[in-house]
Structure 1
Amino acid sequence: MSKILLIGLPADRYTQPMLGLGYIGAALMNKGHTIKVHDMASENCGNIAQIEKEIKEFKPDSVGISVLTAQFTKAKEIVKAIKKLDTKIITVMGGPHISALPEYTLKTVSEVDFVFAGEGEISFPE
């Protein structure tokens, strides 16, 4: 099965647990995948260098990022950094912003391979 890194981005105004990533991670684990969740807000590390280090150590087959609108610019930077490290890593974006603008995301972020609109814990594991 695959190794998947799930990334939760920091929010500017408030911090709360990334429950959606937990649900997706659990669904992926139930399908036999190896999961690592990197919550940038709770781990107090909002820099791309930390994500690059995580990718080099964990060596994921794919990376999923949950995105709010205020986090979209940071998410684009992270996806670009991931593809610079390894173009074979499958990049996936989901979350409220992506659910609202899936076509826009695919058109404006050439490095993203897939987007998920709606509940990712159902479609991502497939």
Structure 2
Amino acid sequence: MMGLRILLVMPPTESAIKRVVGATGPPLGLAYLASMIREEHDVRIIDGIAEDLTFEDVMKILKRYDPDIVGITATTSAMYDSYAVAKIAKNLNENVFVVMGGPHVTFTPELTMRECPCIDAVVRGEGELTFKELVDAVDKGRSLKGILGLSYQEENGKIRNEPPRPLIQNVDEIPIPSYDLLPMGKYVADGPPSER
């Protein structure tokens, strides 16, 4: 098998949208990240919300798949659920590289890594190019120094923030999202609860 095993995770969390509508939208950010690296690496996505997973389920998937890198998406309302996934991953394999991205951690990378020392790095802003460079560096055993848009823990425990990455100018450079890695049938709602 080529490359690394990489698991991208939308953590199990309470979703008001799913409760009201009956379904959520696909985590397109994770699907875009997968498209950036899947030619060279074995990538899987789990959507804890759409698949109604428990943390126990996530643990079983992590145990079976035994990834080299776990990428977790983090919204403000799901931060502690994201931390829980990071802790599960590190408890199963202390050498797994745990990276988090999303709107919340973009603005709070130091706080995020202080609150949850299981997180090795935070991708800030648009993640596609930063995540690809991070995966390449981990795969080749290179330093993370100089990867724009990345915050990470150095060996001495200090947190280093690399400069921000400029926004992607030509979005056509990004491959289409890896919809085939998502449980697409779970995102179709039957209509409002009153019509069911």
In structure 2, C-alpha distance between the alignment counterparts of 1:29 and 1:106, rounded to whole Å: 27
**Residue 13 of structure 1 pairs with residue 16 of structure 2:** yes
TM-score computed with the length of structure 2 as normaliser: 0.61
Whose Rg is larger?
2
Q: How many residues align?
A: 124
RMSD between superposed Cα atoms in Å: 1.1
Aligned-pair identity in percent equals: 32
TM-score computed with the length of structure 1 as normaliser: 0.93
Superposed, 1:42-53 pairs within 5 Å as 42-45=50-53, 47-53=54-60
Which amino acid in 2 is paired with 1:116? V
Query: In the alignment, what sits opposite 1:37?
Result: 45
Q: Deviations over 1:18-39 (max 9, x none)?
A: 0000000100114x01100001
- In the TM superposition, what is the alpha-carbon distance from 1:61 to its structure 2 partner? 0.3
Structure 1 stretches lacking a partner, 5+ long: none
Find the residue that maps to 1:6 and give its secondary structure.
Answer: strand
Query: In the alignment, what sits opposite 1:110?
Result: 117
**Residue 100 of structure 1 pairs with residue 107 of structure 2:** yes
- In the TM superposition, what is the alpha-carbon distance from 1:120 to its structure 2 partner? 1.2
Query: In the alignment, what sits opposite 2:35?
Result: 26
In structure 2, C-alpha distance between the alignment counterparts of 1:25 and 1:98, rounded to whole Å: 19
- In the TM superposition, what is the alpha-carbon distance from 1:93 to its structure 2 partner? 0.5
- In the TM superposition, what is the alpha-carbon distance from 1:108 to its structure 2 partner? 1.4
